[in-house]
A = this chain, B = another copy of it.
Amino acid sequence: MNTPPTAPPATNGTTRRPTEGELEHQRAAIAALGHELRALVDATVRTSAPAEALHRVADGVRRITGQLTGRRRERAEIPAVDEFPGGTRMYSPVTGAGSPLAPPMRVTPADGGLIGRCTLGFAHEGPPGYVHGGMSAMLLDELMGRACAAAGMPGMTVSLQVRYHRPVPLETPLRVHARVTGTEGRKIFVDGSISTEGEPSTTVVTADGVFVTPDPDRTRALFPSLRGTV
């Protein structure tokens, strides 16, 4: 594998691949900031603070943003801390420990597929007290895509059918399940479901999807940052 284009500049002005220890140090800091931002997001969407207090907090947030100086990655650039396809995505809006948007869902292999565990808060609310229907689709799409990668066929979603049997409660530990059920050429068929940890045998949302593994030419065209690695 060539040196990825996203490696940080070394002190001598050239680029070099960071060591695994440096990457872990950086990932821990990214996760720590992600954790604090998720707490701020939750406080923000639940507060009853008056307008004047919210304006003061907004000023404070603007000052903090100003502290994140330095280069910002460009569109399609893969962060040096990430492994793509099939590995760590620090800023994934579903699983990323560094994402202020992610629950984040923790993924483990199980039952011939993958299990994802998370609890969704007020920031992910749709109908009052319940998870946004689109957020359930997002958990399923992510885990079903990861199930393809875990089965050795990283793929992109071609179609996703989601069935909502009952509302998904907020602030309740959830268990998501995804499993590859078959393949046909580059197509991968995947099933998914969501239940609560309290009643794991009662599915509240089910899904089936079709994913496709792009051929090498298409992969290079879609992901120019991967040049030299595929």
Residues of A within 8 A of B (CB): 8, 25-26, 28-30, 32-37, 39-41, 43-58, 60-65, 67-73, 75-78, 84, 91-94, 98-101, 122-130, 132-135, 137-142, 145, 156-164, 167, 169-171, 222-223, 225-226
Integer count of this chain's copies in the complex: 2
- Option from B49, B133, B225 in Cβ contact (under 8 Å) with A160: B133
Q: Which of A25, A34, A36, A62 has the most CB of B within 10 A?
A: A36
CB pair B84–A68 under 8 Å, yes or no, is: no
CB pair A101–B57 under 8 Å, yes or no, is: no
- Option from B46, B100, B101 in Cβ contact (under 8 Å) with A72: B46
CB pair B28–A37 under 8 Å, yes or no, is: no
Q: A61-B33, A70-B47, A137-B138 are in contact. Are A223 and B127 (CB under 8 A)?
A: yes
Residue of chain B at shortest CB distance from A123: B101
